[in-house]
Amino acid sequence: GQGVDEPLSATGFRQADAAGLFLSNVKFTHVFSSDLLRAKQTAATILGKNKFCKDLEIKYDARLRERKYGVAEGKPLTDLKAMAKAAGEQCPSFTPSGGETLDEVRERAKDFFEFLCQLAVELEQKEQDMHGVASRSSGTSAEQLVFPWTNHCSEAELSSDKSGASKALDANILVVSHGAYMRNWIGYFVSDLNCTLPTNLTKSQLSSVSPNTGVSHFIVKLENGNLLKPEITCVCLNQDSHL
């Protein structure tokens, strides 16, 4: 939750190191992290391994915090499940006293995502003002599209990114957050924004919490800067092959 702000354990640092190596060839333009210590340390460790953006500023945002669990914070998961059972409910929909509802978490996620989309559009407009659309069209370098699992994308997706570069947004954003929060955010992508999912993804995978330093990759297209209709494709979800 939010109230217990513990640092990463030795295992946590090893996992963050592994994630950093996994993402070391990805050229990020922005990095955002929850302002809780474990997320801050994870973001800093990942950037420390990066070949292109070690010195990129990490921006901390309270909207990326883990779900608030109220009276259950600092207690074992079994206690939370017992509280839910006593209330005649089940996790994760159960809200302990003083905790956040799933709808409240989703509102935070929605607010932060809309902020990211606005940021990307403003970045694109600045680039076009500086260089003009013509030179901008050739501005998407293959290097910025290098992800460890790029071969999982369809060729059409990647080629359309390059050929439509005057409309595509070159923001390449790393977001470091928490398991229950991210599950809620992904639910928002799927149910509210019709995110396209990998064909081999099962329902149980979609509803499960990511392993520590699990990596999910989404391509977000805002056609002609339209903030109201983002087109979202999930390339991979909760990837943990680096662990």
Give the separation between CA 170 and CA 224, rounded to whole angstroms: 13
Answer for the pair 161, 145: CB distance below 8 angstroms, yes or no: yes
Distance of CA 233 to the CA centre of its chain: 13
Q: Which residues are annotated as a binding site?
A: 38, 66-69
Quote the Cα angle for 33-37-40, to 5°: 35
Of 144, 154, 158, 177, residue with least CA distance to 62? 177
Distance CA 223, CA 81 (A): 44
Specify burial of residue 29 (Cβ count, 10 A radius: 0-12, 13-18, 19+). middle
E strands in 36-192: 58-60, 173-176
3-class SS string, 166-225: CCCCCCCEEEECCHHHHHHHHHHHHHHHCCECCCCCCHHHHHCCCCCCCEEEEEEECHHH
Which positions make up the binding site for substrate? 38, 66-69
